[in-house]
Amino acid sequence: MPHNHTLLELSKKLRSRDISALELCTHFLDRIEGDTKLNAFITSDTERALQQARVADDALNSGSASPLTGLPIAHKDIFCTKGLKTSCGSRMLDNFISPYDATVVERLAKEGVITLGKTNMDEFAMGSSNETSWYGPVANPWDTSRVAGGSSGGSAAAVAARLVPAATGTDTGGSIRQPAALCGLTGLKPSYGRVSRYGIVAFASSLDQAGPIAQTAADAALLFDAMAGFDPRDSTSLDKKFEAASSSLEKPLKGLKIGLPNEFFDSGVDSDVGAAVQAAVARLCELGASAVNIALPNSAAAIPCYYVIAPAEASSNLARFDGVRYGYRTNDPVDLTDLYERSRAEGFGAEVKRRIMIGTYALSSGYYDAYYLKAQKIRRLIATDFDRAFAQCDVIAGPTTPTTAFKIGEKMDNPVSMYLNDIFTSSVNLAGLPALSIPVGFSGSGLPIGMQLIGPYLDEAKLLNVGHCYQQTTDWHRHVPGEFA
């Protein structure tokens, strides 16, 4: 069946005309329409998708197609899409129709990619389980009583259930890698500045970065190459040309040094998770790599550091949602102050309000130096730890998450426990580095386990190369939840 193929496999079938873009698009739209268990999509875009498929078939028939032409994907509902609702999983933007496309959407569309719809997400990307969405939680296809991870949980669940062959996500503290790990997928968080943030509704501007969620590292490389590049509309975009990551996937791993931080393999990691990651490292060593022990002494400070900086930036970014210009507006306000207060109180969910309050407090007079400034100093120490580590190794490996997917509702009343799900991922965003999560096994209860690979700044190609070589000798990425096979 088409839905069990990777992007690269589907691309070959399209170019050989074994299947048309219209047939492929219709197949996936039917799967999206037929799903009643995951709540992975907020909006589907049937009419536009079918029109894009017809255009793609014309390009394929004329020989003017790119490798991505005719391939269907979904976008996380944080990417602005012209003429389509962009809600960020929030009541605040439930009625917002974007007047323009995000750069990521624009670039993929230019390559002939078909947009099937917009996926569910934690509200304004604030969450680690996709339970804070105004549209309800997303279920994990491997066990629908468990979370899909967040905040890009809708994208991950949709790809894992083969409702789409790939999807976009954003990663502020692990929001691509964590759901990819919990759903048995490959997820790439690029270096800060490699992918334009223009048209991505901002959560924390110094941390947000867009990337792909796919079945394989090769598929992720294909999408990343199309997404990345300088954008003059984004002041944080890096103006530098790079070789396509897809071109170096097959490089042998001989001589590669893999750093294993002691801090990533402590008693807080489930035994199944730790064993699967160690086995994956052993497989990479069989392929020519070698493992060295390294230290990241400030990694324990990543969570408290992140949860000062990210809420502080969020409190500033979300100030624009006031009920005046666009988005949710309360009924019958008595005056302007009442309009502001009730629009925000009614439009935002509990987790968003919690983070706005934390961020406002951290930035307030008398507390700025004690919290925000100190967090920025710790951020520098965390980045320096990585610099020292990469003097000893080429990539760093460890668990993506300390546990497998937990039950829906299990941690909603314990924010600190929820935040600790990002303990291995948030330091990467603080340092602006690239990281890749790949599936490396299953727990005793049949839940996916992910391994995180962290690379030096701007070396996404190396991470994708390592991930691809590993996937050439394993089949974890081929496993599909039985109900959705």
For 103-118, the DSSP string reads HHHHHHHHTTPEEEEE
Angle at 176 between CA 308 and CA 321, to 5 degrees: 55
> Amino acid letter at 312?
A
| H or E element that contains 394 | none
CA 184 to chain centre: 13
Q: Is 175 a catalytic residue?
A: yes
The tally of CA atoms less than 13 A away on the side-chain side of residue 115 is 27
Helix (H, G, I), strand (E, B) or coil at 250: coil
Residue burial 291-317, b: 16+ Cβ < 10 Å; e: rest: beebebebbebbbebbbbbbbbbbbbb
- The residue from 11, 20, 44, 76 that is catalytic is 76
Q: Which residues touch 7 (CB under 8 Å, ≥6 apart)?
A: 68, 71, 165, 166, 214, 215, 216, 219, 222, 223
Give Cα separations from 355 to 16, 213, 317, 430 (angstroms).
51, 26, 12, 17
CA-based radius of gyration for the chain? 21
Distance between CA 477 and CA 481 in Å, rounded? 11
- The residue from 11, 98, 151, 427 that is catalytic is 151
Q: Which residues touch 102 (CB under 8 Å, ≥6 apart)?
A: 79, 80, 81, 196, 198, 199, 200
| H or E element that contains 420 | none
The backbone torsions φ and ψ at residue 390, rounded to the nearest 5 degrees and listed phi first, read: -75, -5
Distance between CA 433 and CA 249 in Å, rounded? 19
Distance between CA 251 and CA 104 in Å, rounded? 28
Q: What is the DSSP letter of 45?
A: -
Distance between CA 240 and CA 230 in Å, rounded? 7
Residue pair 215/165 in contact (Cβ under 8 Å)? The answer is: yes
Q: Is 76 a catalytic residue?
A: yes
- The residue from 11, 175, 196, 237 that is catalytic is 175
Task: Point out the residues that are catalytic.
Answer: 76, 151, 175
